[in-house]
Amino acid sequence: MTQRPDGDDPDILLCPNGPMILRGHHVIRTEEGDEVETERPFNAVCRCGGTARPPWCDGTHKVLARGPARRR
Ligand code: FES
């Protein structure tokens, strides 16, 4: 990641194979047209489409990256 001249980190970070991290206040418009405001200093937005609580990342991307479950 390139450091900005003002020393601040970017306010949007894209995690490889994972969520988009938003820093600070943002308003997100969901696919259904609802607007959701970020409430915490850092918020993880799902980019994989697998979350059970959109638009937020719930960690499902980690399971999807492992592939289908194996049978014993
Ligand atoms: S990016 Fe984490 S659940 Fe989709």
pLDDT of residue 13: 96
Q: Is the CB of 46 under 6 A from ligand 1?
A: yes
23: which strand partners?
A: 42
- The pLDDT value recorded for residue 65 is 87
User: Is pLDDT at 61 greater than 60 in this prediction?
Assistant: yes
**pLDDT mean across residues, the chain:** 89
Mean of the pLDDT values across residues 22-42? 95
Query: How far away, in angstroms, is 29 Cα from ligand 1 center?
Result: 17
Question: Is the pLDDT assigned to residue 57 strictly greater than 90?
Answer: yes
50 lines ligand 1 (CB under 6 A): yes
Q: What is the mean pLDDT of residues 21-44?
A: 95
Tokens linked to 15:
């995690």
Distance 46 CA to ligand 1 centre (A): 4
Percentage of residues in the chain having pLDDT higher than 90: 74
Q: Are the C-beta atoms of residues 27 and 37 closer than 8 Å to each other?
A: yes
* Calpha distance 72→59 (Å, rounded): 25
